[in-house]
Structure 1
Amino acid sequence: MSEIIAPLNGAAFDGLLRVDALGPQGQITLRGDFAAPAFRDVVTEVAGTAFPEARRVEAAGDRALLWMSPDELMLLLPYEAATTTAADLAQRLSGEHALAVDVSDARAHFRLRGAPLRDVLAKITPADVSPAALPEGELRRTRLAQIAAAVWLTGPQEARLFCFRSVAQYAFDLLSTAAAPGSEVGYFDGR
């Protein structure tokens, strides 16, 4: 059996923020009709969470269900469970207008931690990252400079960031540069 290697193999940066490249993460893209009770029932049963509202995340234990767009969800789960869970979802959703695909190896994941989280993100994304526009528990798809990414605000000073695996080094370098000591902005401090 092949050894699973995550992008950047645990790279970390300590600056204004702590940036950690995370290990392998199971991910299943789910597309379907959110209004269809059968789709919602199967997805929430397998995820073990409630169905997320627009731009929100529902998490329970080692699983999370992320709203990605009006017809797309992302199920995060342990890496080892992704392949069999995707097959189970596809089988249980057969007959529905739905798609379940294991995309675990397609993306890189980062954890960002530190008080100036919003300032660092504001330097590299056009999205409004103010507390009113990006509250805790919300997911935002956006761009980080030249790449597509998603940011999930998991706490007041913590976020998970996802991007394609092929641009993982670029994302890590960009985050590290934006979080370099001496580059403080101070705009969101105390807000």
Structure 2
Amino acid sequence: MGLNINYIEGQTPLSEDEQEGLKISSITTREELDEFEQLNIEKAIQWTFGKKLKAEQLFSEKFIKDLHKRMYGDVWKWAGTFRTSEKNIGIKSYLIGVELKQLLDDAVYWTQNKTYNSQEIAIRFKHRLVSIHCFANGNGRHSRLMADLIMEKLYNEKFFSWGSTNLVKATETRTAYIKAVKKADQQDLLPLIAFAKS
């Protein structure tokens, strides 16, 4: 039967090879996939509870990959592995390691030197991470959780609310989120910061 996904604006289509990485053969629709992924993500969030992380740990390739694997490893074989295919968003796959290293080094510098306030560091990091698009799928949710962990683990501040809704479904809130991301693409982070707090 296979996986039948209807993509909405801002979602990255999976290649046939990536779809074959699905671990649960009974999943056939977007709704079922979303449900299983959400259960996996909740387990990943529980994994972060009580973890004490310094900037050097949080801003590491190992943590970026580990978190993605924790978020999607029950559902996808390739979870936590950098993509090797080209997408409608993100950089060329062979540049992922280099660009991510630059972002991680920048983020450590920002935190050590208080270059920006906590919210701007979290959102700036989230936006650049999703722009790199490290993984075949789940980059938006992964980057939002990273922003939340930056707020909680590095600054002892509360998670962002992200519009207080599920951003995977096609809603007005998701449309507002995509619009804010596109503004950030043009170097205007304020709408994305405002959305994250809404």
Question: Which has more strand, going by share of residues?
Answer: 1
Higher relative contact order (CA 8 A, sep 6+): 1
Q: TM-score if structure 1 supplies the norm length?
A: 0.28
For the pair shown, the structure with the greater C-alpha radius of gyration is: 1
Q: TM-score if structure 2 supplies the norm length?
A: 0.27
Question: Which has more helix, going by share of residues?
Answer: 2
